[in-house]
Amino acid sequence: MKILIINGPNINFLGIREKDIYGEMTYDNLCTYLYKEAKKINIDIDIVQSNVEGEIIDYIQDAYKKYDGIIINPAAYTHYSIAIYDALKAVNIKTIEVHISNIHQREEYRKISVTAPACIGQICGMGVYGYTLSMMALKRIVK
């Protein structure tokens, strides 16, 4: 099984930005953690990050027929990117949306996800463990 993990804007600043919300783990440490977790459950992963909406769409489109699943943290694009929603629908790859923080306990505008309806599920508020949960779920769901 091969999964693409896509991280959106400012995720590359983990460990720097709002540590009270996102924790101390740096982005590089997150990637190292995810590769180790994937290996434990016998999944191949690739990880990408972009602060640019169009690049995220390119990653999604490039995943077509190459990946069995996608895990996406669209970050701020969660709340307004119909283009990312459309790309996820277009490729028809089982996708789980992940958020490190609990978006439902934050500002009102963060409680709305326009991208989640293109996904089979959403995991939020579990910290970086949400990515691991998503990998485990996709391994069971995707046949």
Which amino acids are annotated catalytic?
22, 99
93 and 120 in contact (C-beta within 8 Å)? no
Integer Cα distance of 49 and 121 in angstroms: 20
CB-CB neighbours of 57 under 10 Å = 20
Strand order in the sheet with 121-124: 44-49, 2-7, 69-73, 95-99, 121-124
